[in-house]
Homo-oligomer: A and B are copies of this chain.
């Protein structure tokens, strides 16, 4: 029981620390310090920084479930659903004042050599892509999609464009790139 009570706060602290400093920019000690637990207890729960980073990525993905659920609400127009989804993502980036960006994009840049995290990132992109593609297909059936491209191509492009826009917002410490994403996407892909 005692073990369990430290494990969860450690994952929360790892998520916060990894988002602010990046994987290579923090040490296990920064995580245990942020969690307020002794460094020695870390290795009772996690084999390595890689291992807890994978759990932190998992938690980050779970925390986004509500924003992804906006995509599957079939009572709402599919284009409006996509708008709501990216609006919710924008709001989250703005709320943390551009200090964190998106852990998926950050890890994509930093962790491409680490096979476990890289593999999980690839499946996250695939899962997210499927949710977006399903919305794009509905929009397409309603003749709301402008370019004649497979829904999967559009969905992947939107996700990648989003991640790049978050990077840019982080550099400029400004929401302009997120607004430009929304303007460009909803003027060019959907009607």
Q: State the A residues within 8 Å of B (CB).
A: 22-25, 98-99, 101, 105-106, 108-110, 112, 118, 121-122, 125, 146-149, 153-154, 156-157, 159-165, 167-168, 170-173, 176-177, 180-181, 183-185, 187-189
Smallest distance from the beta carbon of A183 to chain B beta carbons, Å?
6
Q: A148 — nearest CB in chain B belongs to which residue?
A: B187
A108, A110, A121, A172 — most chain B CB neighbours (10 Å)? A108
Give the copy number. Answer: 2
Question: How far apart sit A23 and B24, CA to CA, in the bound complex (Å)?
Answer: 8
Question: Which of B109, B110, B122, B161 meets A165, CB within 8 Å?
Answer: B161
Cβ of A147: which chain B residues have Cβ within 8 Å of it? 184, 187-188
Smallest distance from the beta carbon of A181 to chain B beta carbons, Å?
6
Cβ of A165: which chain B residues have Cβ within 8 Å of it? 157, 160-161, 164
Contact across chains for A101 and B110 when beta carbons are under 8 A apart: no
Cβ of A167: which chain B residues have Cβ within 8 Å of it? 105, 108-109, 160, 163-164, 167
Contact across chains for A160 and B177 when beta carbons are under 8 A apart: yes
Smallest distance from the beta carbon of A12 to chain B beta carbons, Å?
21
Contact across chains for A160 and B171 when beta carbons are under 8 A apart: no
Smallest distance from the beta carbon of A23 to chain B beta carbons, Å?
8
Smallest distance from the beta carbon of A177 to chain B beta carbons, Å?
6
Contact across chains for A108 and B168 when beta carbons are under 8 A apart: yes
Cβ of A121: which chain B residues have Cβ within 8 Å of it? 171
Cβ of A101: which chain B residues have Cβ within 8 Å of it? 109, 112
